Amino acid sequence: MEYLSNVMEKTFVPEDFLPIALQLIVALLFVVAVMFLTHVIGGKRRRVRSTRKEENFECGIEVKGNARFPYSVKYFLIAILYVLFDVEVIFFYPWAVNFKDLKWAGFFEMLLFIAFFLVGFYYILKKGALEWTKS
């Protein structure tokens, strides 16, 4: 808390931002230099059109039929649930870092968070959202 009050009282001068500006300039110069060198050193390619070149290529698998076949909703449901629970788990890190400062109040708040987390997971299991069956 003392650190925060010291930061709030400090007035920033332009020299404080010099390292950020320097890093930005170096990054931009690097990008420009690499782009320039790839055009100078890299070979020139000719555009030759053919039906074989125009075909879609997916990991060596030959193209068969229409690419717009329907996906199972289960696939998207599993993906969305993974992202949802993965994002919730991210909240454990700041809690673990500030565990000593939060004392017992923070501990009980995290227990409440975990309880909500587990209730949601139990609901998903009971609904059968994670059961992967061909239908």
Q: Which CATH number characterizes residue 76's domain? A: 1.20.58.1610
Q: Which two tokens stand for residue 28?
A: 């931009």
| 2 in any annotated domain | no
Per-residue model confidence as pLDDT tens digits over 64-97: 666 666 767 777 888 888 888 888 888 888 888 8
| Confidence bin at 42 (pLDDT 50/70/90) | confident
Q: Tell if the pTM clears 0.85, that is, is over it.
A: no
- Residue 7: inside a domain: no
Has residue 20 been placed in a domain?
A: yes
Structure tokens belonging to residue 62: 């030959």
Residue range(s) defining the domain that contains residue 80 = 13-127
> What are phi and psi for residue 12, nearest 5 degrees?
-90, 140
Please state the domain count of the chain.
1
Percent helix / strand / coil, the chain, rounded to 5: 70, 0, 30
Closest-CA residue to 129 (of 72, 87, 74): 74
Domain assignment present for 104: yes
pLDDT (0 to 100) of residue 6: 62
Tokens of 45: 């390619």
